[in-house]
């Protein structure tokens, strides 16, 4: 049978295209199945043919990207184009361990967790640095003022020496030794020293507690973001279990309160510094007190944890 040619191509002097040719098909023998007939195909061939028809082909100007059922992801598509990134599930298999819904859930949660952990980790690093520096400075002041809470051995020695001199004078003058008053060895810390040490020791405890809970929070974040092997559904369930416990332990609330705790420690240090400077220079103590009050007012107005919603 002669090939049929396209009249337009023949008039233009072009050769006949392979698509325009109609090639006769030789009838098959009665015992041979026709592969183009779905009713005569074997089961294995039919299944393969169904998979080939279900293949999604995306052609571009350069190269060809193909995605077949069972392929996990397509690296050439946008990150959140999940219809192109993951193949569609077969019917009645939408909740299988490797279904597309679990892949999409894990990808979205990974983005959320990454942002949350990066923000929390950055703030915790800053808190650790500031708490370490502040604690070291505060320790120097506390070491100097804590000695005022214990008896001064030098002052006690001076009192005893004065008593001995008074006894020798009384003996030389022939007066009664009982008339010499005994040395006063009792010790009572002043109220200013007590309040000063209370404020600074409380500030030091708050600063060290902030550093401790910051380290614990970083360990919680590290454990929360650790990878778990398994099917996508198992990973999604484990992640949900971790998030539930993360919320029950109020980890985010604790992380949010750590800066406030450190700010409170700084405020107590400033109040103690005013008490420390008052006996030395009253004008300097007043200036520092006014500065602390203004700073506290600005803190209550502009601190993120104190803003009115």
Longest CA span, the chain: 158
pLDDT of residue 55: 37
Average pLDDT, the chain: 74
Query: Cβ-count burial of 122 within 10 angstroms (0-12 exposed, 13-18 middle, 19+ buried)?
Result: exposed
179 or 43: which leads in pLDDT: 179
Where does the pLDDT of residue 208 fall: very low under 50, low under 70, confident under 90, or very high at 90 and above? very high
Long-range contacts of 26-34 (CB under 8 A, 24+ apart): none
pLDDT of residue 176: 75
Residue 241 Cα to chain centre, angstroms = 18
Distant-in-sequence, close-in-space partners of 180: CB < 8 Å, separation ≥ 6: 163, 166, 167, 170
pLDDT of residue 272: 93
Share of the chain above pLDDT 70, in %: 70
Q: Which of 22, 23, 40 is nearest to 31 (CA)?
A: 40
pLDDT of residue 264: 93
Is the pLDDT score of 62 beyond 60? no
What confidence tens digit (pLDDT) does each residue in 216-228 have? 999 999 888 888 7
What confidence tens digit (pLDDT) does each residue in 272-306 have? 999 999 988 889 989 988 988 888 888 777 766 54
What confidence tens digit (pLDDT) does each residue in 71-111 have? 344 455 556 767 667 777 778 777 777 788 888 888 888 88
pLDDT of residue 30: 46
Q: How far apart are the C-alpha atoms of 245 and 248, rounded to whole Å? A: 5
pTM for this predicted structure: 0.62
pLDDT of residue 274: 92
Q: Per-domain residue ranges for the chain?
A: 101-150+187-257
Is the pLDDT score of 67 beyond 70? no
């Amino acid at each position: 049978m002669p090939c049929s040619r396209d009249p337009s191509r023949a008039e233009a002097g072009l050769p006949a295209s392979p698509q325009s040719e109609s090639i006769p098909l030789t009838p098959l023998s009665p015992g041979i199945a026709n592969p183009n007939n779905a009713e005569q195909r074997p089961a294995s061939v039919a299944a393969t043919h169904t998979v080939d028809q279900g293949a999604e082909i995306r052609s571009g100007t350069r190269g060809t990207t193909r995605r077949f059922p069972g392929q996990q992801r397509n690296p050439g598509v946008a990150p959140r184009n999940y219809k192109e990134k993951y193949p569609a599930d077969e019917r009645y298999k939408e909740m299988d361990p490797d279904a597309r819904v679990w892949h999409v859930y894990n990808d979205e949660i990974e983005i959320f967790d990454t942002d949350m952990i990066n923000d929390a980790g950055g703030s915790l690093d800053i808190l650790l640095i500031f708490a370490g520096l502040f604690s070291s400075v505060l320790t120097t002041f506390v070491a100097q003022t804590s000695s005022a809470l214990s008896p001064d051995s030098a002052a006690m020695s001076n009192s005893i020496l004065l008593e001995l001199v008074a006894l020798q004078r009384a003996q030389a003058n022939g007066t009664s030794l009982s008339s010499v008053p005994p040395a006063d060895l009792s010790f009572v810390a002043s109220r200013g020293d007590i309040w000063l040490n209370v404020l600074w020791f409380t500030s030091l405890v708050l600063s060290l507690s902030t550093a401790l809970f910051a380290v614990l929070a970083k360990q919680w974040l590290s454990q929360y973001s650790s990878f778990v092997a398994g099917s996508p559904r198992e990973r999604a369930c484990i992640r949900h279990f971790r998030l539930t416990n993360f919320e029950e332990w109020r980890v985010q609330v604790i992380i949010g309160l750590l800066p406030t705790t450190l700010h409170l420690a700084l405020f107590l240090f400033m109040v103690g510094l005013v008490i420390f400077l008052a006996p030395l220079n009253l004008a300097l103590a007043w200036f520092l007190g006014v500065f602390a009050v203004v700073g506290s007012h600005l803190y209550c107005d502009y601190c993120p944890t104190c803003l009115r919603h």
